[in-house]
Amino acid sequence: MADLRCPNCGRDNPNFLDTCQFCQTPLKPESTLHTGDSPVKKDTGELEPILPQWLRDMRQQARESAEEDAAASAAQPKVRNDPPDLLAGLASQTRDEDNDVPDWLASINPSPKIKPEEPPASDSPADFFSQFNKSTPEPAPPQAEEPAPSWMSGAAESPRVEEEKDELSEWFSKAAAEPDEVVEIEQEPSSGGMDMPTFKIKEPEPPKEEEDLGWLRSLEATSHQPGGQTAAPESEFARGGDEPAQPTSEGGEDLSWLNELGGLPASAPAESTPSSAPVIEPDLPEQGHASAAQSDLSWLDQLGSFDPAAAQEPEPAAPASQETPDWLNLPDVPAQKFEEKPAEDLSWMQSFGEKEDVASAEEKASQFSPRRTGPLDAGSAEDSMPDWLKSATEEPSMPPPGALSEWFRETDASASDEPLLSQPQPGAPQNVDSILSDDLPDWFSSPEPGEEEKPASAVPSGDSLAPVDLPAWVQAMRPVESIVEEAPSVESQPTEREGPLAGLRGVIPSAPIGSALRPKPVSLKLQASDEQLAGAVILEQILAGETNPKPLVTTPLVASQRVLRWMLSGLFIIVLGAMIFLGTQSMPVSASLPAHVSSVSSTVANIPPGSSVLVVIDYEPALAGELEAVSGPMLDQLALLVRPRLSFVATSPNSSALVERLLINTRLSLPQPNGLDYKLGADYFNLGYLPGGASGVVEFVESPVSALPSAGVGSFSEYAAVIVLTDHSESARVWVEQLDARKQIDPSLANQPLLVAASAQAGPLLQPYVSSRQIAGMVNGISDAARYEFVNNSRPGIARRYWDSFGVGLLMAIVIITIGSLWSVVAGIRARRAEAEFG
């Protein structure tokens, strides 16, 4: 950071100091800004004497040219629009840098070095125009040695700047190099064989003629005058990084910061208005002076949506309002009309343009003539500078920013009465001044003649403004003032009566704090029709239904299942346990035997006494209770009547262990008188497990001894009868089928009866074999067994013990299934209805 030079004592101070460390003079205007100071509009006309001479000359020329076009320019109205866009950006920018002096302000603070003979304006720390008098610390290299970028090729035509550095241009360049810059630039290889990047803005170069910003051309033309040495600052953008400083061709190039200031994206007009957008071609020198001279002012074309091409060419310019901000969407004035009134509001600038025309001829003669926008040499500066600039040249320090505001305000005032923009025409080129008057803060507006109120200043005599004062346009950039539409004057504010501020007035603004910082409310409500709103409501409902998690029904369902199971189990256990424990036998048993049961009884009675009977244990331990009850009366009758030798064979591994249990529960193996005293190895034989399934059955039927060596019989026909105790119809069917097949082969088996004691689930499937007499008789389930027992004198009585519990259990099952099914139907309907409601 460069040191700040005290405007009072002229000594250098560190940049971070607010006041001079030697004389305590405020170094920065912000440091003297008091809270509560309302923005004060300055009459910058009084700053004219402090302007450099060359600027005063330019101003004078502008006045003269403005007078020539006064009629036309006076008819141009000032179109006012809401300026919040620009101000909001400035305000936010100001807020961010509230405690920091902007670089551009800091850079204009030091006193120029080029004119040490003139005493520095100690009372004007923010001498804006003094930067034009500053010389660059190091001279810019000549164009021939280091060519400028192609887009700066116009600079090659400009004279080499050596004396001063144009800090204003540097500031402009910094502004132009901000990241918001969206001008599409193509980097092209340097034409001069150097590594300098060339930039090409993809926009047609607008003609420089008919510019209403002639004042800037005047600046440029002045710089082109012989001997005129203007410090041509090189922007950061133009340097392209580490490139050394290059002389700029036009000062207007560096003014592209105004594009940023207005929030106008440079690429927007490049897309929408290609004909009016500036193009900086790498081969700019070959395009002649006109195009080269215009490139520096192209930012103003964008700013005002002015279509220079329309001014020169018959085809109208493309509208630029689509891509530009609102504050720039001013109706374009037809180019033809603009040509007729070139000066209009900025007539004094037009004079610069005329000078530019004059200077262009000189540029044609010598395109490499140095150009300066800073202080010119004595002779030329005195001639070309307007009066208001002359004083600036004389003064070592730049005028306060407030002076610049006045300067702009003056131009604005001249443009306020322009009639051409009173009726804005779409597509017409806009006047820059109208934009400034509409969208820029009040420091661009016309001055207030009656403005007398000035804050307390410490400006020494001889200076227009006190160093502690901020210009109005800078104050307007402050957050509060930029938003408060009309800050109350100090007189209108109450005087403090208490506290340290007693007696002071206007120290604390009366504007509401907080709400003042609030931006203007912008209605975000969509203008939608009722139908659209209804559709939106439906869509919201759909989305809400999609996003809302559906409640999981599995957990309560599982819980209810578990509870229901426990309830069912508990109910059965309690009721049936009580029935078994009580041993009730209240339910009568029918004495009539079914046909298949009576067949069993008759078959048993016909078995020869003392013969061998094969008993097949074909049930699992789980059904042992049922099968023991079912087979009990048949085995009891058989043992009582015939007392055969029983041979037990099991068709499952576990069944062989059930033989003893069967004989005990049927009381066959129990000693008399409770049982029949069957002895293992004498009266019955446990042959064990017969593996192989159907193959084992086939083999056992064909050769019992080969299948089971413990069979004890040589032929299957030695068994007088075969009794199958089964809980599986399939396994029983195997025995039925194999025996039937064997009977067809071995006639000795023809009279061998097959009796079956089946569980309730297997019996119905074996019923066809009973009907076909392949099974001589069958006891099916507890129901048949109870009847059989009743006929068999209630022996062994197993089925009868189960009979009451069996009946109650069936009744409970019927009731539960019926009620539960009905409840399931109702619950299912409710669930489906609920699902339908929730979608």
Partner 1 sequence: MIGLGILVFAAILLLLITIWRRRTPATLRSIDAYERLNREVGLAVENGTRLHISLGRGNLFTSRGGSALAALAMLRRIAERTSVSDRPPIVTSGDAVLAILSQDTSQSGYRAAGAEEQFRVTAGRMTGLSPFSYAAGTIPVTRDENVSANILIGDLGAESALAADAADRQDASLIAASDNLSAQSVFYASAQDPLIGEELFASGAYVGAGASHEASLQVQDVLRWILILAMLGGAALKFLGFDF
Partner 2 sequence: MRVFTAAFAIASGLIVLLGYFLPVQPLIQLRLILTDWAIVIAGFAVLIGVFNLISVQMEKVRSRQPAGLYSALLIISLILTFGFGLLLGPDDPFMRLAVDAVIVPVESALMAILAVTLIYASIRLLRRRVDLMSVIFLVVAVLFLFAIMPTPFGPIPGDQLILDLTGMLSRGGARGLLIGIALGTLLTGLRVLFGIDRPYGGN
The residues that touch partner 1, with contacts defined as CB under 8 A, are: 554, 558, 561, 620-622, 652-654, 692-696, 728-731, 733-734, 761, 765
Q: Which is nearer to partner 1, 397 or 729 (CB)?
A: 729
* Residue 768: CB minimum distance to partner 2, A: 7
Q: What angle do CA 256, 259, 260 make, to 5 degrees?
A: 105
* Residue 622: CB minimum distance to partner 2, A: 4
* Residue 547: CB minimum distance to partner 2, A: 29
Distance between CA atoms of residues 694 and 270, nearest Å: 95
Distance between CA atoms of residues 797 and 579, nearest Å: 16
Distance between CA atoms of residues 614 and 636, nearest Å: 15
Q: Which is nearer to partner 2, 75 or 657 (CB)?
A: 657
Q: What angle do CA 46, 47, 53 make, to 5 degrees?
A: 120
757 binds, among partner 1, partner 2, none (CB under 5 to 8 A by kind): none
Q: Which is nearer to partner 1, 80 or 773 (CB)?
A: 773
Q: Which is nearer to partner 2, 199 or 803 (CB)?
A: 803
Q: Which is nearer to partner 1, 119 or 621 (CB)?
A: 621
Distance between CA atoms of residues 331 and 319, nearest Å: 9
**Which structure tokens are listed for 337?**
């009309």
What interhelical angle do 53-68 and 214-224 show, nearest 10?
Answer: 130
* Residue 827: CB minimum distance to partner 2, A: 6
First to last CA, the chain: 70
Q: How far is CA 834 from CA 403, 532, 829, in A?
A: 79, 30, 8
* Residue 620: CB minimum distance to partner 2, A: 6
* Residue 761: CB minimum distance to partner 1, A: 5
569 binds, among partner 1, partner 2, none (CB under 5 to 8 A by kind): partner 2
Q: Which is nearer to partner 1, 610 or 653 (CB)?
A: 653
Q: Which is nearer to partner 1, 451 or 730 (CB)?
A: 730
731 binds, among partner 1, partner 2, none (CB under 5 to 8 A by kind): partner 1
656 binds, among partner 1, partner 2, none (CB under 5 to 8 A by kind): partner 2
Question: Nearest CA to 410 among 473, 467, 486?
Answer: 473
* H helix intervals, 772-797: 781-791
* Residue 759: CB minimum distance to partner 1, A: 10
Q: From the CA atom positions of the chain, what is the Rg in Å?
A: 58
* 3 state SS of 687: strand
* Residue 764: CB minimum distance to partner 1, A: 9
Distance between CA atoms of residues 208 and 357, nearest Å: 10
699 binds, among partner 2, partner 1, none (CB under 5 to 8 A by kind): partner 2
* H helix intervals, 197-346: 214-224, 236-239, 251-254, 257-261, 267-272, 288-295, 298-304, 308-312, 335-340
* Residue 267: CB minimum distance to partner 1, A: 49
734 binds, among partner 2, partner 1, none (CB under 5 to 8 A by kind): partner 1
* Residue 832: CB minimum distance to partner 1, A: 16
Question: Nearest CA to 112 among 129, 90, 99?
Answer: 129
Q: Which is nearer to partner 1, 511 or 734 (CB)?
A: 734
* 3 state SS of 641: helix
358 binds, among partner 2, partner 1, none (CB under 5 to 8 A by kind): none
736 binds, among partner 1, partner 2, none (CB under 5 to 8 A by kind): none
Q: Which is nearer to partner 1, 339 or 620 (CB)?
A: 620
Q: Which is nearer to partner 2, 114 or 757 (CB)?
A: 757
DSSP 24: -
Phi, psi dihedral angles at 687 (to 5 degrees)? -75, -15
Distance between CA atoms of residues 723 and 546, nearest Å: 67
CB 55, CB 393: distance < 8 Å: yes
660 binds, among partner 1, partner 2, none (CB under 5 to 8 A by kind): partner 2
707 binds, among partner 2, partner 1, none (CB under 5 to 8 A by kind): partner 2
Q: Which is nearer to partner 1, 501 or 622 (CB)?
A: 622
600 binds, among partner 1, partner 2, none (CB under 5 to 8 A by kind): none
Q: Which is nearer to partner 1, 232 or 690 (CB)?
A: 690
Q: How far is CA 414 from CA 70, 75, 78, 553, in A?
A: 9, 10, 9, 80
827 binds, among partner 2, partner 1, none (CB under 5 to 8 A by kind): partner 2
Q: How far is CA 421 from CA 189, 324, 589, 672, in A?
A: 44, 18, 119, 135
Q: Which is nearer to partner 1, 612 or 761 (CB)?
A: 761
Q: Which is nearer to partner 2, 314 or 588 (CB)?
A: 588
728 binds, among partner 2, partner 1, none (CB under 5 to 8 A by kind): partner 1
817 binds, among partner 2, partner 1, none (CB under 5 to 8 A by kind): partner 2
574 binds, among partner 2, partner 1, none (CB under 5 to 8 A by kind): none
Phi, psi dihedral angles at 386 (to 5 degrees)? -70, 165
Question: Nearest CA to 440 among 342, 602, 520, 330?
Answer: 330
191 binds, among partner 1, partner 2, none (CB under 5 to 8 A by kind): none
* Residue 736: CB minimum distance to partner 1, A: 12
Q: What angle do CA 648, 649, 650 make, to 5 degrees?
A: 125
Q: Which is nearer to partner 1, 31 or 761 (CB)?
A: 761
* Residue 636: CB minimum distance to partner 2, A: 20
* Residue 733: CB minimum distance to partner 1, A: 8
761 binds, among partner 1, partner 2, none (CB under 5 to 8 A by kind): partner 1
The string of DSSP letters for 576-626 reads HHHHHHHT---S----PPPHHHHHHHHHHHTSPTT-EEEEEEE--GGGHHH
Distance between CA atoms of residues 103 and 240, nearest Å: 20
CB 743, CB 752: distance < 8 Å: yes
Distance from the Cα of residue 555 to its chain's centroid: 36
CB 175, CB 260: distance < 8 Å: yes
Q: Which is nearer to partner 2, 508 or 664 (CB)?
A: 664
* 3 state SS of 508: coil
Site for partner 2, rule CB under 8 A: 561, 564-565, 568-569, 572, 586-590, 620-625, 653-654, 656-658, 660-661, 680, 686, 688, 691-693, 695-696, 698-699, 702-703, 706-707, 760, 764-765, 767-768, 781, 783, 786, 803-804, 806-807, 810-811, 813-814, 816-818, 820-821, 823-825, 827-828
The string of DSSP letters for 467-482 reads TTPPPHHHHTTSHHHH
Helix (H) or strand (E) holding 108: helix 103-108
Q: Which is nearer to partner 1, 22 or 823 (CB)?
A: 823
**Which structure tokens are listed for 736?**
């039925």
* Residue 811: CB minimum distance to partner 2, A: 6
